Structure 1
Amino acid sequence: MKTADYTLRVHSVESFGTHDGPGIRMVVFLQGCKLKCLYCHNPDTIDTHGGKEYPIESLVKRAVNMKSYFGEFGGVTVSGGEPLLQSKELVHFFQRLKEEGIHTNVDTNGRVFNHFTEELLDKYTDLVMLDIKHMHEDGYQMLTGQKNKETTFNFAKHREASGKAMWLRYVLIPGITNTPELLHEMGNYFKDYKTIEKIEIQPYHKLGIHKWEALGWEYKLNDARENTEEELESAVEILKNYFKEVKLN
């Protein structure tokens, strides 16, 4: 098949994203995810049969038309859902973007790793934003509904070995992921990684609850509270001991 024949199953496209990688970005939210994170604020992206098929060339054309807005640092980010469920198609998408001189970024939970993913990461992906759900297996299962957190850490090891840029993302949920012990454990685990440019801390919020209700799903973190300013500041101070840059997103 030629690139022109490939499509991506897309949930939505944001033209001027500023929270999904460096600079101004076109953010393509792909449809489908095998996790069901309790705090997911886009649960409508989980169903692998939802969304709409977009021809890759139409997305490339849209990105090319935006190049003047990207400037030195911007580009295209694929997010989701879990974009690497469509890694075969993304190889062709990112190959075309690189031909057009456009920066590429994948926002992923790191659970999908096959030869298509490897080709995508090693040849065509300028930046990976890796979502660290939890440092412990029981916490990972509780939050995501799936087993084997080690897939994410093995993914990180591969990216580190490639020598190519990576950011970490971490959601702070009071009493669940936002404890000094877990933050220090994460810092110690990743402190010797050379490819990690920053870690983005994402404060827990409940902005997506109405989407869960619309889908008829039970939102199981109703009793969780949002972080206080003091908790956010404390988390940042802890992580500054381990990472070059810590950002509240």
Structure 2
Amino acid sequence: MEVKGNIHSLESFGTVDGPGIRFVVFMQGCPLRCLYCHNPDTWDSKGLAKYQMTPEELLAEVLRYKNFIAKGGVTVTGGEPLLQAEFLREFFRLCREAGIHTALDTSGYICTPKALAVLEYADLVLLDIKTIDPELHPRLTAVKLDNTLRFLDELEKRGVPVWIRHVIVPGLTDNDEALDKLAEYINHYTVVQKAELLPYHTMGTYKYEAQGLDYKLKEVEPLSAERLANAKEIFKKHGITV
């Protein structure tokens, strides 16, 4: 039986999810519960996905925009895309056949053989590292840190290019010592091309209200421009492109 992907939404003109203009696929379902998640509507893997598509159907949709994304490509995000690893591997394989650059945006939490098989057809991985503090990680995400670091090891082993993504949250991850530790840690990996430091914002809070969920960080102010600049300087000191 052909596998179908549960897809939350599609964006045909993404500019912040990898290089160039990209077709962005938001997959339905995520095992993490990040305190600052701005897509809580993608959490429920049993929820009603807006689209159910085969890899071929999704590729056909992407190809409608091929001229726009010629210098960019396709990014699959979520949710957590690797919850649907078999679908994703086949979709990425078809993209490669069609000459389309593929990027996977993942937390690395799902580090199974099926998930790792997707990497065969991933041209770039956007790896979201929430923190490398093993005690803080479960508070931030409701899951342990171990798999994310294992996933980064696997990317190094396979030579898959990586952009590290890290959200800086006042009072949680906006901490000079923690930022320095993270920068030092990722600097050991030859596959890491750059780090994207993302300032915490509150733009997704309305989604929590709409779903009757309690937003745990409602007292936290968005990150200031000064603190973002400070974080960038810490990473640059380690020779990391930000």
Bin of the TM-score, shorter chain as denominator length: over 0.9
Partner of 2:11: helix, strand, or coil? strand
Partner of 1:113: helix, strand, or coil? coil
Distance 2:39 2:25 in 1: 13
Which residue does the alignment assign to 1:62?
61
Which residue does the alignment assign to 2:101?
103
Using the aligned pairs only, state the percent identity: 43
Partner of 1:68: helix, strand, or coil? coil
Which residue does the alignment assign to 2:148?
152
Indicate which of 162, 167, 170 corresponds to 1:166.
162
Please list, as runs of the form range in 1=range in 2, the aligned pairs for 1:54-133 lying within 5 A after superposition.
54-72=53-71, 74-121=72-119, 123-133=120-130
Q: AA paired with 1:214?
A: A
Q: AA paired with 1:184?
A: D
Deviations 1:132-185 (A, max 9, x none): 111212211111112x20110010011011112000000000121011000100
Distance 1:63 1:243 in 2: 36
C-alpha contact (below 8 Å) 2:30/2:44 kept by paired residues: yes
Deviation at 1:114, TM superposition (A): 1.6
Deviation at 1:242, TM superposition (A): 2.3
Distance 1:116 1:13 in 2: 24
Distance 1:142 1:25 in 2: 32
Distance 2:211 2:239 in 1: 38
C-alpha contact (below 8 Å) 2:15/2:22 kept by paired residues: yes
C-alpha contact (below 8 Å) 2:183/2:240 kept by paired residues: no
Deviation at 1:28, TM superposition (A): 0.3
Deviation at 1:211, TM superposition (A): 0.5
Runs of 4+ in 1 over 2 A off after TM superposition: none
C-alpha contact (below 8 Å) 2:70/2:100 kept by paired residues: no
TM-score by length of 1: 0.93
Distance 2:168 2:203 in 1: 15
The answer to which of 26-35 and 56-65 deviates more is 56-65
C-alpha contact (below 8 Å) 1:199/1:243 kept by paired residues: no
Aligned residues: 240
Indicate which of 134, 138, 143 corresponds to 1:137.
134
TM-score by length of 2: 0.96
State whether structure 2 residue 202 is matched by structure 1 residue 206: yes
Partner of 1:130: helix, strand, or coil? strand
State whether structure 2 residue 180 is matched by structure 1 residue 181: no
Q: CA RMSD in A?
A: 1.1
Distance 1:161 1:125 in 2: 14
Structure 2 unmatched runs, 5+:
none
Please list, as runs of the form range in 1=range in 2, the aligned pairs for 1:214-225 lying within 5 A after superposition.
214-225=210-221
Deviation at 1:244, TM superposition (A): 3.5
